[in-house]
């Protein structure tokens, strides 16, 4: 059950699966966007703090510069930054003996934007427009109750 797109590139809602089992068998773009590594990387407050600090800085920063954003050891900061890099949220480059980390702005923003669009499309498939809240419509029709 794939979604069609409108002329402006936004996904149009497809018929919603009647049961969670049917939904698990259907493949839609949202399935490819929900990487556990991305959410695991964002699931730690120190990593979120490091990502936010690097984003606000707006340039590539060394591990020691980013370590000033949080109160953990330098080696721990380095491990957190590698986790963010493996998740595709940051990138690194070596300059002499230093490793500089920077946010992959376009990739992060694009992922979150596409994910938001897909979630909107999933919510729009609910006939009552309930956006995932219990709407009183028979769950066989809606699937959100």
Summary mean pLDDT of the chain: 79
pLDDT tops 70 at residue 13: no
Per-residue model confidence (pLDDT) at position 23 = 67
Per-residue model confidence (pLDDT) at position 1 = 37
What percent of the chain has pLDDT above 70? 67
DSSP code of residue 141: H
pLDDT in tens, 40-79: 999 999 999 999 999 999 999 999 999 998 889 999 999 9
pLDDT in tens, 113-131: 988 888 888 787 766 555 5
3-state secondary structure the chain: CCCCECCCCCECCCCCCCCHHHHHHCCCHHHHHCCHHHHHHCCCHHHHHHHHHHHHHCCCEEHHHHHCCCCCCHHHHHHHHHHHHHCCCEEEEEECCEEEEEECHHHHHHHHHHHHHHHHHHHHCCCCCCCCCCCCCCHHHHCCC
- Domains of the chain with CATH codes: 35-121 (1.10.10.10)
More confident residue, 118 or 6: 118
Question: Taking the model in full, what pTM does it have?
Answer: 0.68
């Amino acid at each position: 059950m794939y979604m069609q797109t409108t002329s402006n590139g936004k996904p149009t809602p497809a018929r919603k699966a009647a049961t969670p089992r049917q939904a698990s068998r259907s493949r839609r773009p949202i399935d490819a966007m929900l990487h556990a590594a991305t959410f695991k990387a964002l699931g730690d407050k120190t990593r979120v703090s490091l990502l936010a600090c690097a984003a606000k800085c707006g340039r590539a920063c060394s591990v020691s510069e980013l370590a000033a954003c949080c109160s953990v050891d330098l080696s721990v900061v380095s491990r957190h930054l590698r986790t963010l890099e493996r998740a595709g949220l940051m990138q690194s480059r070596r300059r002499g003996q230093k490793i500089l980390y920077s946010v992959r702005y376009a990739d992060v923003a694009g992922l979150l934007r596409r994910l938001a669009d897909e979630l909107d499309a999933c919510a729009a498939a609910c006939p009552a427009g309930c956006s995932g809240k219990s709407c009183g419509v028979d769950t066989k029709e809606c699937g959100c109750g």
